[in-house]
Structure 1
């Protein structure tokens, strides 16, 4: 089974996304299946490590937190941009020390941070395990470090280790 479907979740996700984007018909189902199978087989050449989910039951909690944070950040950034007095806003860079070392966890954290408006993952030093983060409206550096570590990193560590 693993030769035909080396990454079954990837195949199913790609097929579902294909059908959502292109509509459901027999032709789209066949074409989407072919593309999803081919993409899954091509992933074997990249040899990504398969993550071991210890706390898989925490995934819905993480997704809910990320969706809520993205929603709130969209509103906060829109208010900052539309505000007339731009002199009070101050962007900046902060360094966040991370305990997370798993490549999959770091990739998920990068997606979370970058998809949240007002923040951007700039650089990660694997030797020092430090993240350089850009914040659009940097008021309190300690707040952002605590937010990344306690809100996202802790959950990712619980899920992946």
Structure 2
């Protein structure tokens, strides 16, 4: 059985425990499904999306372990690149053997049933990356081009422009 982690808003804990995780369908996404991270020996990469998700919705986050059959079909790939369809066990092997697993995501193209949920827990606060996987080593650029439509971008741009003058 392959094990994955799903990060979600703490407000949804009771609903998810009762009904499972449902697929949010949006027209602009190529593949709709439940977003998961493979559970590997590396805590950082297993929970890498926590900080980026907090940027968009600043509420406490929880995580749940999801157990899938090894032959379950999922899509795996970097967050802004093409995804490939593989089995759940192959997705974990890809994550373990990947040279740079930052930004790697697994998409399950169906809802997760409550019986597939294993354990709810609160991940460490300061885990993950923001903006992009390699961003921890440098400050973000707050110019208009780089931060169009990002949360808090107008406030940050004003600070950025004040520092330049």
What interval of TM-score do these two structures reach, taking the shorter chain for normalisation? Answer: under 0.3
Relative contact order (C-alpha < 8 Å, sep 6+): which is higher? 2
| Bigger CA radius of gyration | 1
TM-score (structure 1 length as normaliser)? 0.24
Greater strand percent: which structure?
2
Where is the helix percentage greater, Structure 1 or Structure 2? 1
